[in-house]
Structure 1
Amino acid sequence: MGSIPDKFPRSCGLKTLDLSGNNLQGEVPKSLENCTTLEVLDLGNNQINDSFPCLLKSISSFRVLVLRNNMFSGLIGCPGINGTWPRLQIVDLAFNHFRGKSTSYLLGKRPIPDVIGKFNALYVLNLSHNALRDHIPSSLGKLSQLESLDLSSNQLTGQIPPQLARLSFLSVLNLSYNRLVGPIPTGSQMQTFSADSFEGNQGLCGFQLNLLCSNTSGSTLTRRSNQRKEFDWQFIVPGLGFGLGSGIMVAPLLFSKKINKWYDDCIDKILLVLLPMLGLRYYARGRLEGRARRNF
């Protein structure tokens, strides 16, 4: 509880700062920019209410940024960043209030097509559960080392760029619950993902969703109509009786906690695997110890 003290000295030599899961409030302290050798910053699972931490934009050693499950808001990016994080490998901004056309301003004010190549060392990119809109940029296909991409539960529109099918290392993909339309790109990599990666997009079609793209005015609409009838009955039947009122109030809270824990476990597993590979064994060890304490 409390806030992060704004007392980082000018001689700050920190390489890792992990303050996750401490119910911290307030803003990211401005003096943190004095830590010019910082490689890992994990402020996840707190109550920090701030904008994107542009004060770190000049730290060229930056490799891991985790801000998940806070109250960060505004646009993602900073004026003039333009590739000053060439070693950035893990970005997790999920479960915040980032908004706007942030897929066009990722890590900089310039559009992604101009800057995305500067961050081609990325392994993990998680922007899920925010309020991002606009299209998924085709330039994400330039992130040749990307292993995990999660853009779920936003307001993204348009089609899935076929360039994503070129990401040969991509093992985790979640584009669910947006407003995406059109065919799911074909390619050997895309065929490995199940319907869970694409569900909740009413305009998408493809074999993963068991929806043919050729006759969208016929077979697809018929299938959706049938799904809607099943959906209605699932909620009408349990709603007969007293249980409906309490279910409406309690179930979303329980579900939200389960979803948060599931995402936390997933990002922990990813970090524990990738960080030793990136030469950050000391951070992985600390992360493992912190996880053990939380589960105790």
Structure 2
Amino acid sequence: MQNLSALNLSHNLLTGFDQDPALLPGNNGDSVTFDLSSNNLQGPLPVPPPGTANYLASNSSLTGEIPSWICNLNILESLVLSHNNLSGLLPQCLGNFSNELSVLDLQANNFFGTIPNTFIKESRLGVIDLSHNLFQGRIPRSLINCSKLEFLGLGNNQISDTFPSWLGTLPKLNVLILRSNIFYGVIEEPRTGCGFSKLRIIDLSDNRFSGKLPSKSFLCWNAMKIVNTSELRYLQDVLSPSGKLSNDILSTYDYSLTMNSKGRMITYNKIPDILAGIILSNNRFDGAIPASIANLKGLQVLNIQYNNLQGHIPSCLGNLTNLESLDLSNNKFSGRIPQQLVELTFLAFFNVSDNYLTGPIPQGNQFATFDNTSFDGNSGLCGKPLSKGCESGEAPTNEDHTEGSEESLFSGASDWKIILTGYAGGLVAGLVLGFNFSTGIIGWILEKLGTQQKATRRRRRRRN
């Protein structure tokens, strides 16, 4: 095994080692990939062979703390220990023990305490996933040094902080997951310039954010404005030095996440680079939906359920033609459901239940596939699929009552020409008909008056 470059023991039923893997000779040349993923390994973390660059031990039953020897792995490029029973504090060397580290995945363990504020300048970290642990405190400000960071997952912890707008300066950040923590306060609008230009997925659900939705930020999230029609690719990190079992097989680390989409929690074991989503549910946001959100034409998932949002549903949401899931339920929206939403032909899930909406439900296209549950809790709604019919005078309308909307009632000059032509024609016809009608009425009245006068004269003569 003097030329060992990869030892892949993953996806078995191994429970441990007869002797320490550190006694393996390793490779004096290329670095080593040591893959123990998806076994039944128990006890403390096994010490890897010398020269290990990729240490993968996810999906097992490992226990104990991360040992101090981890700080000596100065050529480590990826450390993936997710989905185990590891616990304790993270070592203070985390984030600065290796200049080569690009993947740090410790999700779904029992780590607690604060996240060390020791991420070094010019860090190569592209993935940091510390979600589903027991971390407290604030987000470490030294993450600003991770200029290559693409994925930051801190969801399902006990982190208490305001929204980290300073992360917007990271030029490659694609995915930001802060779900189910104790984040609070208003999301401040950018004062100068724009941030989060590469952001495609943001999940802030189940926190205590308040105030208005970040209208100006929606104008800055440029990656969500792009409808990606190129060939399908996934967000992933290539684990160099290749993690090869043969010279032509490359090993990759696939970014994964779970988010609330289409009415349920969906797990993406691989994240397609076309996926774009905004999840702001279960917070304390108020005010109206800003029209600026209509600029995000690449958006596929929009979930803002369980907030205190109000006003009318803006018709400009009909511009989000890539949208597949739209959840506006459990807010305080009023008025009608815009007819323009019928244009969302990819919409597979729609929920506006438990609001104060009124009027007829739009008909056609995807709206023919939604059942009663999409509209429950709005006593003023009528029309299919509800059993309550609409009155004859009610019909879907294209009127847009959105507060702050800049859309006009008529979309262009052609509409005005049609309207004015009809008005002019109607006016002429009305005048002609009105004249004929008036002339007939006057003649009839004069005739009646003349008849009455003759009858009166006859009566007088008889009396005399």
| Change in 2 beyond 3 A, CA 1:116/1:100 | closer
Residues 5-54 of structure 1 deviation map (CA, whole Å, 9 limit, x = unaligned) = 22223452211101000111122345423322111001001111132264
1:30 & 1:121 partners in 2: Cα distance?
22
Letter of the aligned partner of 1:92 in structure 2? I
Work out the CA distance in 2 between the residues paired with 1:43 and 1:184: 35
Higher RCO (C-alpha 8 Å, min separation 6): 1
The aligned length equals 206
Query: Gaps spanning 5+ residues in structure 2: where?
Result: 1-135, 225-275, 394-464
CA contact (8 A) 1:6 1:29 kept: no
With over 3 angstroms needed to count, the CA separation of the structure-2 counterparts of 1:63 and 1:95, relative to structure 1, is same
Q: Deviations over 1:183-223 (max 9, x none)?
A: 0001131110000000000100112111110279xxxxxxx
- 1:170 aligns with 347
**Structure 1, unaligned runs of 5 or more:** 106-111, 217-296
Alignment counterpart, residue 219 of structure 2, candidates 83, 90, 94: 83
* TM-score for the superposition, normalised by structure 1: 0.65
Q: How does 1:62-141 map to 2 (within 5 A)?
A: 62-79=199-216, 81=217, 83-88=219-224, 89-101=276-288, 103=289, 105=290, 112=291, 115-141=292-318
Q: Does 1:147 find its partner at 2:324?
A: yes
**Alpha-carbon distance, 1:86 to partner:** 2.5
- Specify the SS of the correspondent of 1:12: coil
AA aligned opposite 2:279:
D
Give, as a single letter, the amino acid of the residue that structure 2 aligns with 1:71. R
Secondary structure in 1 aligned to 2:365? Answer: coil
Q: CA RMSD in A?
A: 2.1
Q: 2:371, 2:179 → 1: CA distance?
A: 28
The answer to whether the 8 Å contact 2:206/2:281 transfers is yes
Quote the residue 1:46 is aligned against.
181
Please give the residue correspondences for 1:210-289 in structure 2 after superposition, counting only pairs within 5 Å: 210-214=387-391
Q: What SS is found at the alignment partner of 1:165?
A: helix
Superposed CA offset, 1:134-161 (max 9, x none) = 0001110111100000000000000000
Greater strand share, 1 or 2? 2
Structure number with larger C-alpha Rg: 2
Normalized per residue, which structure has more helix?
A: 1
Identity fraction in percent: 38
The DSSP-based 3-state class of the residue aligned with 2:141 is coil
- Counterpart residue number, 2:160: 25
Q: How high is the TM-score relative to the length of structure 2?
A: 0.42
- Answering whether residue 196 of structure 2 is matched by residue 59 of structure 1, we say yes
Distance 1:116 1:34 in 2: 21
| Structure 1 contact 180–201 (Cα < 8 Å) conserved | yes
User: Equivalents in 1 of 2:302, 2:218: separation in Å?
Assistant: 18
